[in-house]
């Protein structure tokens, strides 16, 4: 039976972490280890964690960092402590279905490197996030199937990964950067030996006022955009190592380019000039391939005026 390492970074989630840890205890699949890393929380999260560690010492391992270094660095730390065949990332304000890992067991038994499942977004009401479902295929084909129809392609928490992906291919989350999933998950998918995308709904993504995507701090908004550009540059370095098919390489570049353009909408118009220049310096508009009339119009508008394109998106 494959062993699964569940990695849970924690930072100031005292209101939600009990539900998260309880969902781990309730797993019907029993060959698991849970690595809980406290990223120097300032609330009472540790007290709740220790309750579970003391009650279930064979299930939970606990580590506390001396400094707050962010989600990416904390996940990377968790990976160094993991010993399982597979790795599952769970954020401490979210939770998982009791049968999630058991339902994915048959794919682990087949040795699938990347196993994708579905999530519910919990925000007053519960909404299922849909997306493509397919049987075992190679990573490039999987990416091509997901790239235009799955809005959560880059969320690390809705995949079960073979741990060897991180060990042998040296994938890491980009420390100190926002959108750490965006920086690495698409590259893991596209480089995988095999991938499945299931219709199993097993993750509950709880949107709170502390969620990064809902933070109203404008300086953080700027840093998120700058970090997205950093991830783009890193992506170009990574894909040089892969022998990607032409269409798949184009799709990877389109995916990152579209995401960066959409994120630019959150930057105040008077501040965009510098960032538009960075897009132009990288010649990113050429990544928009003219495969149909809609893409032709998009590329023409972007070539003329990026602000006009952003205005038309509203």
Q: In whole angstroms, give the CA distance from residue 78 to residue 73.
A: 9
Query: How high is the pLDDT of residue 139?
Result: 98
Each residue's pLDDT tens digit, 167-216: 999 999 999 999 999 999 999 999 999 999 999 999 999 987 655 445 56
Alpha helix (H) ranges present in 117-158? 139-146
- DSSP assignment of 157-180 equals GGEEEETHHHHHS-----TT-S-H
| pLDDT beneath 70, residues of the chain | 209-216, 289-305, 307-314
Query: How high is the pLDDT of residue 212?
Result: 45
Asked whether residue 20 falls in the same domain as residue 160, the answer is yes
Asked whether residue 184 falls in the same domain as residue 53, the answer is yes
Helices 180-191, 139-146: inter-axial angle, 10-degree rounding: 130
Asked whether residue 152 falls in the same domain as residue 163, the answer is yes
Asked whether residue 164 falls in the same domain as residue 19, the answer is yes
Asked whether residue 221 falls in the same domain as residue 254, the answer is yes
**Cβ pair 44, 15 in contact under 8 A:** no
User: Phi and psi (nearest 5°) for 159?
Assistant: -135, 150
Asked whether residue 193 falls in the same domain as residue 273, the answer is no
pTM score: 0.91
Q: How many CB atoms lie within 10 A of CB 276?
A: 15
Query: How high is the pLDDT of residue 119?
Result: 95
CB-neighbour burial class of residue 64 (10 A; exposed 0-12, middle 13-18, buried 19+): middle
Number of structural domains found in the chain? 2
**Domain boundary residue among 195, 213, 231?**
213
Asked whether residue 170 falls in the same domain as residue 232, the answer is no
Asked whether residue 25 falls in the same domain as residue 161, the answer is yes
Asked whether residue 230 falls in the same domain as residue 202, the answer is no
**Domain boundary residue among 213, 240, 270?**
213
**Domain boundary residue among 213, 244, 259?**
213
Asked whether residue 40 falls in the same domain as residue 132, the answer is yes
Query: How high is the pLDDT of residue 213?
Result: 47
Asked whether residue 119 falls in the same domain as residue 204, the answer is yes
CATH number of the structural domain spanning residue 198: 3.90.550.10
Domain of residue 280 covers 215-312
Helices 272-281, 218-239: inter-axial angle, 10-degree rounding: 0
Asked whether residue 227 falls in the same domain as residue 261, the answer is yes
């Amino acid at each position: 039976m494959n062993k699964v390492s569940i990695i849970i970074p924690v930072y100031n989630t005292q209101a939600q972490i009990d539900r998260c840890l309880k969902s781990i205890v309730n797993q019907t699949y029993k060959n698991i280890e849970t690595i809980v890393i406290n990223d120097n929380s300032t609330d009472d999260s540790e007290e709740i964690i220790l309750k579970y560690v003391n009650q279930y010492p064979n299930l939970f391992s606990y580590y506390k960092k001396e400094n707050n270094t962010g989600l990416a660095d904390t996940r990377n730390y968790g990976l160094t402590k993991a010993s399982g065949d597979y790795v599952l990332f769970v954020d401490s304000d979210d939770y998982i279905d009791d049968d999630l890992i058991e339902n994915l067991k048959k794919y682990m038994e087949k040795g699938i490197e990347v196993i994708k499942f579905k999530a519910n977004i919990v925000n007053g009401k519960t909404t299922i996030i849909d997306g493509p479902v397919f049987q075992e295929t190679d990573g490039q084909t999987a990416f091509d199937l997901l790239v235009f129809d799955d809005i959560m392609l880059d969320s690390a928490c809705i995949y079960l990964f073979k741990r060897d992906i991180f060990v042998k291919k040296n994938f890491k989350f980009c420390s100190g950067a926002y959108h750490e999933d965006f920086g690495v998950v698409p590259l893991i998918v596209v480089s995988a030996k095999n991938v499945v995308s299931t219709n199993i709904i097993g993750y509950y993504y709880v949107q709170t006022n502390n969620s990064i995507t809902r933070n109203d701090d404008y300086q953080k908004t700027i840093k998120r955009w700058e970090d997205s550009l950093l991830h783009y540059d890193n992506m170009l370095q990574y894909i040089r190592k892969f022998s990607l098919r032409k269409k798949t390489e184009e799709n990877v570049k389109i995916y990152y380019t579209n995401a960066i353009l959409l994120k630019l909408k959150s930057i105040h118009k008077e501040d965009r000039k510098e960032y538009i220049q960075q897009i132009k310096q990288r010649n990113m508009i050429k990544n928009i391939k003219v495969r149909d009339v809609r893409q032709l119009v998009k590329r023409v508008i972007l070539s003329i005026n990026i602000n006009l394109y952003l205005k038309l998106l509203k």
